[in-house]
Amino acid sequence: MRKKLKDIADIKFCLASASKNENEQKVKWITPANLLENNVIANSSLDNQYKIDDNAKIFPKDIIVKRINPSFVNYIDTIENNVYASGNLIVIKSKAVDAKYLAYFLNKKINRITKSCVGSTIPAIGRNDLEEISIPILPPNQQKAVGEIWYCNTNLQKLKEHLAALERVKVKYFLDTYIKTEIGEGNNDR
């Protein structure tokens, strides 16, 4: 059995209002630039430039997609209180399937959707493109298993990337230290 995304999830296209929020309260915003692959979200910005829209508030188990030039989705496992999605983001809240399973499936489909967009040099997802995605409905235990495998794999990729970055720092430190020792940097012998 398959169901359309609009039937199993709430879909919110976020539009940031340029007016400041009424009480000048600074809140955290996630922008498209903050979203990185493998469920990595770079630092959110603290700002009071946008009117707060409670429909754009982000919660655990939400799925966030860039509306313009999307190539992956971000599954929100944990998040601070009072963080909002800014304009050009889409927040998807699963209501009838496992959220990680839905994130896995949307992540798989997102490139196909943007490749089918025509008439624009920068691909963007429209409401109809997203709402009409057909999602296979597996039994709940299978959804949970698929979602967990996908989520664990994305976390593994994050850890591998972090380890590679640490290895580069270690090698650079070793080489810099070795070179300084060998050439006697700091000595006046030339």
pTM of the model: 0.78
Positions of the chain with pLDDT lower than 70, given as ranges: 16-24, 44-50, 114-120, 185-190
Residue type, 145: A
145 contacts: CB under 8 Å, gap ≥ 6: none
Whole-angstrom distance, CA of residue 74 vs CA of residue 13: 15
Q: How large a percentage of the chain has pLDDT more than 70?
A: 84
Q: What is the pLDDT of residues 2-53, one digit of tens each?
A: 999 999 999 999 876 555 556 567 788 888 888 888 777 887 666 666 677 7
Whether 62 and 95 have beta carbons less than 8 Å apart is answered as no
Whether 69 and 124 have beta carbons less than 8 Å apart is answered as yes
How far CA 72 is from CA of 53, 56, 133, in Å, comes to 24, 19, 15
What are the residue ranges spanned by the domains of the chain? 2-183
The separation between the first and the last C-alpha atoms of the chain, rounded to the nearest angstrom, is 78
Whole-angstrom distance, CA of residue 163 vs CA of residue 145: 27
Average pLDDT value over all residues in the chain: 84
Whether 64 and 35 have beta carbons less than 8 Å apart is answered as yes
| CATH architecture of residue range(s) 2-183 | Alpha-Beta Complex (3.90)
51 contacts: CB under 8 Å, gap ≥ 6: 16, 17, 19, 20, 21, 22
Residue 181 main-chain phi, psi, to 5 deg: -70, -45
189 contacts: CB under 8 Å, gap ≥ 6: none
